[in-house]
Structure 1
């Protein structure tokens, strides 16, 4: 924090902060005294100290408003101030700090006294208790995201946002704590988060999890900040235009894995553990990552029919899929934990697999080691697009493969065609598995053919 021995000439010459920003400076001439300058040029005297608790608890560190700077001789310059806030000269502010120190020493919070910083109507001008980022987040989740206790005009409960789980994941993984589980902004004063802090956070997320994840984090930070700003006075969101990492427009991803990359991926995922099996199963079924991670043994019948649960207001899904023999063989080969219901269990038996970022990074390293160089960057969702393209290559009709992926069918067809296409989807998955098996086994076939040619070049 910047420090300076305050003088009237220096205070009068202070420039306003940048747009939607503010800065603080501490006085070397009086301990606990500081100023805050906003983007309008308003200078507010503040006292920073440990203020006694009114309930006899431990003193809490905080900031209290003393008043706005108003020099006796303004020399013709206009200095904005807030209505109802006491106007103070520099010497008056220093004296007020000394008076408040005496009251604090006696166990009294001076900002709660009727005469302390009150306006003409006796309104106390002070700061509210410090709000941690976690406390603001909890209230945001309760009121804005989960809509707890809220009802519509007909008296029916308002459902939570469809993205509630994803919002919670982003905040708990990247904002409140870091991916390693260390506290990040959890205990921090919500109002103390500045633009530079947001930038540093986004840089870290982008470096470790990619540009799209950084933009997802930014979107939720902006949503929380705007929600908070709509409920309190004198708060300016640190989020500004231009902070998005991917630019104004995001082009649709087109990445699919070619045959060579598929063979490489299939080879490396052999014996790679739970995540390796997860990657193979994702390619064989073309389903979304969330549905795969939430898959339970009870969802799969003995005949290989996978019932995919559907939640309220979520995207469409395939509902029922008859797994191919190749996919079913993979499921049966997985070691089943007696205390875990999930096909792909996590570190804790009662939770599904969740360490995707770390596991994906380890898989990329293994691919690079096997290949001698890294392949073009890819994400798990690219497997879904690859599977769709492979089904087209296997002559699966587009309207069938779309239903395998669980996409909502648009237009009149989606409204009137209510047929389940169960057998057609099963055939599509068998065709997909057959093609994947042929692609991944191709080097072995070529090696066998070469060996035969070498031993019998004339075909005799």
Structure 2
């Protein structure tokens, strides 16, 4: 708000509120979240906005005297910015997009974010070649919009419309985070990213794909003809555990304690450790123990590294599914993703009459309300029972009884 900065006025300020003085142009005071008052003087020089910190917690009269001094210098066509601060501002404004991205990635690694590798890849392929050498303070909204439109127009074999709009939105998310991080360290930088730049809508991103019984049966049969074995075991384990891909694909032997796998918080969406009971069906897929190198459960190099090459393996699996459905005179299987198995498993849990609350705990979803805080029961036995019921339903689908087996109760009634 604009008004005279007086002791009475600043005492009435609430955290986050600020006053622009009506008498001394550029004189500003803001109440920090901590409750302290921060005074500053802002002005323009050579077409660039400048900011001078006058002090924190000082009396408003003292801050006003300092602001008047700087205002006089500006009026005399001078530059009141101290030399040291001027050098800092020049250094900040000279930073390129690449400089900011490098700093942000260092910050992301220090936070041990799971998506750092994907961030680096997206920035290397899509952002650095186009904007990397630009001064970050000079990047315009129109440049960001053009960048995203160009990415969205790239051909894609994964999206139904053949475009990479989802990739564009991932790039937008990384850029938004990087620019927001930079804003904290540069008083003169304002992020060029605004609402409305996303290339997809929430409705488009939401999926409800669930595999029906015939599709599950075909998938299970197709896996028998595919490889490598680690991928086959992994896909089946995903359906039988209802877990997320990252939780299972990077599972390590030390994380298996007895007949329970403890997924660390760094790999869970809720950021807390998550227990997955290992049923006999899943145990058969995991095996008896670590390979030569210990390490990862689903691996092609004896546990040294987790399975990779998902795209190629999925293409082989889809080709085998298409072949089997053609042989059975079935229509082509609609596009599906590995994550659809998790939604399918949740639906099968309902078919198995598992309590909805337990089913949600099986999936590792956060329980709403105060129960999340006060109910600390691990629910291991309940989740194990639910997963065993799920396995029974899956077995009934992939190994249906022979056609000549007669239901005795029905035959007796007849």
| Band of TM-score, shorter chain | 0.5 to 0.7
User: Superposition RMSD on alpha carbons, in Å?
Assistant: 4.1
Is the 8 Å Cα contact of residues 170 and 217 (structure 1) preserved in structure 2?
no
Alignment correspondent of 1:84 = 46
Alignment correspondent of 2:17 = none
Task: After the TM superposition, list the runs of 4 or more consecutive aligned residues in structure 1 that deviate by more than 6 angstroms.
Answer: 119-130, 233-236
Alignment counterpart, residue 282 of structure 2, candidates 327, 334, 337: 327
Alignment correspondent of 1:260 = 214
Alignment correspondent of 1:430 = 388
Tell me how far 1:363 sits from its aligned partner: 3.0
Whose relative contact order is higher, 1 or 2, with alpha carbons under 8 Å and at least 6 apart?
2
Flag the 1:222–1:304 CA change in 2: closer, same or farther, 3 A: same
Flag the 1:186–1:321 CA change in 2: closer, same or farther, 3 A: same
Compute the TM-score of the two structures, normalised by the length of structure 1.
Answer: 0.56
User: Secondary structure of the residue that 2:200 maps to in structure 1?
Assistant: coil
Flag the 1:186–1:275 CA change in 2: closer, same or farther, 3 A: farther
Is the 8 Å Cα contact of residues 218 and 325 (structure 2) preserved in structure 1?
yes
Is the 8 Å Cα contact of residues 318 and 403 (structure 1) preserved in structure 2?
no
Compute the TM-score of the two structures, normalised by the length of structure 2.
Answer: 0.62
Alignment correspondent of 2:410 = none
Flag the 1:129–1:411 CA change in 2: closer, same or farther, 3 A: closer
Structure 2: 5+ residue stretches without partners = 1-43, 48-76, 407-414
2: CA distance, partners of 1:228 / 1:308: 33
Q: How does 1:129-144 map to 2 (within 5 A)?
A: 133-143=97-107
Flag the 1:219–1:285 CA change in 2: closer, same or farther, 3 A: same
User: Secondary structure of the residue that 1:368 maps to in structure 2?
Assistant: helix
Is the 8 Å Cα contact of residues 260 and 276 (structure 2) preserved in structure 1?
yes
Task: State yes or no: 1:197 paired with 2:147.
Answer: yes
Alignment counterpart, residue 338 of structure 2, candidates 359, 380, 405: 380
Alignment correspondent of 1:175 = 123
Structure 1: 5+ residue stretches without partners = 1-81, 86-118, 149-159, 453-460
2: CA distance, partners of 1:208 / 1:252: 15
Flag the 1:133–1:345 CA change in 2: closer, same or farther, 3 A: farther
2: CA distance, partners of 1:234 / 1:353: 45
Q: How does 1:88-237 map to 2 (within 5 A)?
A: 133-143=97-107, 145=108, 160=111, 164-166=113-115, 168-177=116-125, 185=129, 188-191=132-135, 194-195=143-144, 196-204=146-154, 208=158, 211-228=165-182, 231=185
Flag the 1:287–1:345 CA change in 2: closer, same or farther, 3 A: same
Bigger-Rg structure (1/2): 1
User: Secondary structure of the residue that 1:321 maps to in structure 2?
Assistant: strand
2: CA distance, partners of 1:318 / 1:428: 19
Is the 8 Å Cα contact of residues 133 and 185 (structure 1) preserved in structure 2?
no
User: Secondary structure of the residue that 1:379 maps to in structure 2?
Assistant: coil
Is the 8 Å Cα contact of residues 191 and 235 (structure 1) preserved in structure 2?
no
Deviations 1:95-140 (A, max 9, x none): xxxxxxxxxxxxxxxxxxxxxxxx9769999998975655422211
Tell me how far 1:306 sits from its aligned partner: 2.1
Tell me how far 1:428 sits from its aligned partner: 1.3
User: Secondary structure of the residue that 2:169 maps to in structure 1?
Assistant: helix
Flag the 1:425–1:134 CA change in 2: closer, same or farther, 3 A: same
Deviations 1:226-250 (A, max 9, x none): 4446655887766454431222655
* Structure holding more helix per residue: 2
Tell me how far 1:206 sits from its aligned partner: 5.7
Flag the 1:316–1:142 CA change in 2: closer, same or farther, 3 A: closer
2: CA distance, partners of 1:140 / 1:348: 35
Alignment correspondent of 1:291 = 247
Tell me how far 1:213 sits from its aligned partner: 4.6
